[in-house]
């Protein structure tokens, strides 16, 4: 019996050794677990659609199939932007959202803090937090306590928050469009209404929807939910334009979605190297792409550059 046991143990050790040999293969051969084969969904980025429609809904970031706010709505945004001034010497730009937003905004903060073109009175604070999708964020008041602690750690307070970058999604979303987009739209409105009272000096809210989700192997927010989130953002902005939503001016931040390797007109692609092994969270490459989009936005958008830059351009 002992001989048989030893033989069995030898076989097990051999199998373990073989598996270890496989696991020690170059990372490129085993990485990623992400679904890299789904490099395109065939969906068209909102920014490229013009008057084309998706399930009956027109494209564009703003009403009318366009990617910029109307002159009338932009005028309101500029009025809000002119009201952004240092409070006790600081202008706080805060992020609100989920784990993806946190990874992206932390990197943006590092870049912004070292950028000599940025107004030294601007304090960038990452208030986004792992595990807080839109539903959790609205359901758990503890999220806002965490944000307060982050503001305090940065030497500022809720009363100095004047601009917010908001990026959210609903984890496990599986409803068919437009139900998924409308559900997120409702949650985003709740978040903005909460911010109205928590940040009394808040003037501007910039929203972004998710990056490409086609590589996802999780159910957190795969396609087409990631794509559909763009319509949720647009719906919230339309609510603000029409007056259904009150409070700070609300507009698009950078539009982050692109159709994987198929890309979009401006050349932005989202490759499998831009995501972690789960296909959902951005890798260092992906984070850097978002940082570039955020930086370009805050330096060029007319409602942002006048207070974000050390010397605003006309």
Q: What is the pTM of this model?
A: 0.89
For residue 156, what is the DSSP state? Answer: -
Q: What is the DSSP code string of 189-246?
A: HHHHHHHHHH-TT--EEEEE-----TT--SSSS-TTHHHHHHHHHHHHHHHHHHTSS-
- What integer best gives the mean pLDDT of the chain? 91
For a pLDDT cut of 90, what percent of the chain falls above it? 86
pLDDT for 55-73, tens place per residue?
999 999 999 999 999 999 9
- What domains does the chain contain, in order, with CATH numbers? 47-308 (3.40.50.1110)
Specify the pLDDT at position 176.
97
Specify the pLDDT at position 10.
40
Q: CA 151, 211, 122 angle in degrees (round to 5)?
A: 30
pLDDT of 25 > 90? The answer is: no
pLDDT of 20 > 50? The answer is: no
CB 245 within 8 A of CB 189: yes
205 beta partners: 164, 250
The residue written with tokens 């002119």 in the block is 82
pLDDT for 195-215, tens place per residue?
999 999 999 999 999 999 999
Token pair recorded at residue 7: 């033989």
Please report the sign of the dihedral spanned by the C-alpha atoms of residue 46, residue 47, residue 49, residue 51: positive
Specify the pLDDT at position 311.
79
Average pLDDT of the residues in 287-297: 98
pLDDT for 112-130, tens place per residue?
999 999 999 999 999 999 9
pLDDT of 5 > 90? The answer is: no
pLDDT of 314 > 70? The answer is: no
| Structure confidence at residue 312 as a pLDDT band (50, 70, 90) | low
pLDDT for 206-254, tens place per residue?
999 999 999 999 888 999 999 999 999 999 999 999 999 999 999 999 9
| Structure confidence at residue 170 as a pLDDT band (50, 70, 90) | very high
CB 106 within 8 A of CB 201: no
């Amino acid at each position: 019996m002992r001989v048989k046991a030893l033989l069995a143990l030898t076989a097990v050790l051999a199998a373990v050794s073989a598996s270890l040999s496989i696991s020690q293969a170059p990372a490129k051969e085993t990485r990623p677990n992400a679904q890299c084969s789904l490099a395109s969904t065939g969906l068209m980025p909102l920014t490229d659609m013009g008057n084309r429609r998706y399930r009956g809904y027109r494209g564009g970031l703003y009403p009318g199939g366009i990617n910029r706010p109307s002159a009338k709505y932009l005028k309101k945004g500029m009025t809000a932007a002119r009201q952004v001034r240092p409070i006790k010497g600081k202008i706080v730009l805060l992020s609100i959202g989920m784990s993806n937003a946190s990874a992206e905004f932390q990197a943006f903060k590092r870049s912004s803090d070292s950028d000599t073109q940025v107004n030294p009175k601007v304090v960038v604070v990452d208030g986004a937090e792992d595990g807080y999708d839109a539903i959790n964020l609205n359901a758990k008041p503890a999220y806002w306590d965490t944000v307060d602690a982050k503001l305090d750690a940065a030497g500022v307070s809720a009363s100095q928050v004047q601009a917010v970058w908001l990026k959210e999604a609903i984890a496990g979303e599986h409803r068919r469009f437009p139900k998924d987009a409308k559900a997120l739209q409702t949650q985003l409105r709740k978040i903005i209404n909460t911010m109205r009272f928590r940040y009394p000096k808040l003037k501007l809210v910039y929203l972004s929807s998710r990056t490409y989700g086609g590589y996802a192997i999780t159910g957190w927010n795969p396609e087409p939910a990631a794509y559909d989130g763009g319509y949720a953002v647009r719906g919230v902005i339309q609510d603000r334009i029409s007056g259904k939503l009150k409070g700070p001016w609300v507009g698009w931040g950078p539009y982050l979605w692109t159709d994987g390797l198929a890309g979009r007109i401006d050349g932005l692609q989202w490759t499998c190297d831009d995501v972690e092994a789960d296909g959902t969270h951005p890798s260092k490459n992906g984070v850097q792409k978002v940082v570039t989009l955020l930086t370009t936005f805050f330096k060029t958008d007319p409602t942002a550059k006048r207070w974000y830059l050390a010397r605003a351009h006309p």
